Amino acid sequence: MKRKVRKKKLLIDNSKVREFYSKFKAVICKNIKNKDFALAVSGGPDSLCLAYFGKIYQSEFKNKVHYLIVNHNLRKESSAEALKVKKILKKKYINSKIIEWKGNVPKSNIQKNARDMRYSLLSDFCIKNNIKYLITAHHLDDQIENFFIRLLRGSGLKGLSSMSEIVNYNKNLKIVRPLLKLEKKQLKYVTLNYFKNYIKDPSNNNKNFLRVRVRKYRRDMEREGLDTRKIIKTVNNLLSASKAINFYKNKAINKYVSFLSGQKCIINKKIFSEEADEIIFKSFSDVLSLVSETYYPPRSKKILNLIGRLKKGKFNKSTLGGCLVEKNDNFISISKEQKVKKMSLRL
């Protein structure tokens, strides 16, 4: 039996906040409507704004919303900060849950591993609680930063086109990003207007992280006259092109890839002679993610290197992105490594 939507008219006195909320609401209405969803809150101005908008939407449409705080245990202050975020939300009658990482803490590639840990915890919670949608606070500035980061790494079309409004994390969970049309300063304005304060992440000032350095480069380029709005236009154009290529990539996967199970498939080697390089690359990227059950595929350079070796005569087997890749006369076999589950606990 479908839940009946009972809309309640909400009065948001601040016209700016009302305008920003309308953009959030449009995305959620289009993709989720009155279904339940989870919402990730870190305590920064972006995610607290997201929590506030989630509360308003919940009041309007009567969705059940799960407000989740992730404690990575990366720093000694992590537990105290998670409790502080919970307290900030509680003052505004938003009940939240802290989910905590129990495995080993990574010592290298910290930002990537922290992201993997965060999504692993959030995904596990959502799957256990039959939640199909996870809402994140990615915004316009994240899009621009991701573009520059991937440009520096020599990413292809998929990387440069950056984040979509909605994407499949796995077969059970979709990630929705309703703030992509809003700038960080706008989200900060909402948070200070409603919560009055937020948690400052010390890693935002750590120049060891590429993202922090990119923010400085961006400010420098803006002073030289670079209009970052043009970057967004470029990102959107690339995203449109990526969607067109995805159409043909999906056709190629249907034609050349046979899934024997959720964790194993075979690829007909004819894909190398009958498809364009970009279609081959995107097909392998998707297959590696699907088989390994990870949201992010391996780096482009590593996938291209694997494809290059597969095309050559001498190739027996190799591993990449949590997958075992083997080649015989006519087919390439890709299966999930058995050790992946153990690795995920150590991240």
Whether 10 has a pLDDT exceeding 90, the answer reads no
Q: How confident is the model at residue 23 (pLDDT cuts 50, 70, 90)?
A: very high
The pLDDT of residue 6: 52
Whether 75 has a pLDDT exceeding 80, the answer reads no
Q: How far apart are CA 77 and CA 138, in angstroms?
A: 24
Residues 6+ apart with CB under 8 A from 151: 160
Q: What number is the average pLDDT over the span 231-242? A: 85
The pLDDT of residue 60: 92
Pairwise pLDDT comparison (206 vs 215), residue with the higher score: 215
Give residue limits of the domains in the chain. 15-223, 239-346
| Strands ordered across the beta sheet of 264-268 | 257-261, 264-268, 331-336, 323-327, 317-320
- 146, 152, 156, 159 alpha-carbon torsion, rounded to 10°: -10
Q: What number is the average pLDDT over the span 174-189? A: 95
Q: How confident is the model at residue 343 (pLDDT cuts 50, 70, 90)?
A: very low
Pairwise pLDDT comparison (66 vs 228), residue with the higher score: 66
The pLDDT of residue 2: 52
CATH architecture of the domain formed by 15-223: 3-Layer(aba) Sandwich (3.40)
Q: How confident is the model at residue 114 (pLDDT cuts 50, 70, 90)?
A: confident
Whether 203 has a pLDDT exceeding 80, the answer reads no
Q: What is the pTM of this model?
A: 0.77
Range in 54-58, 74-78, 139-143, 287-291 the model is least confident about? 74-78
* CB-count burial class (<10 Å; 0-12, 13-18, 19+) for 166: middle
Q: How far apart are CA 24 and CA 204, in angstroms?
A: 25
The pLDDT of residue 345: 33
Contact 291, 263 (CB under 8 A): yes
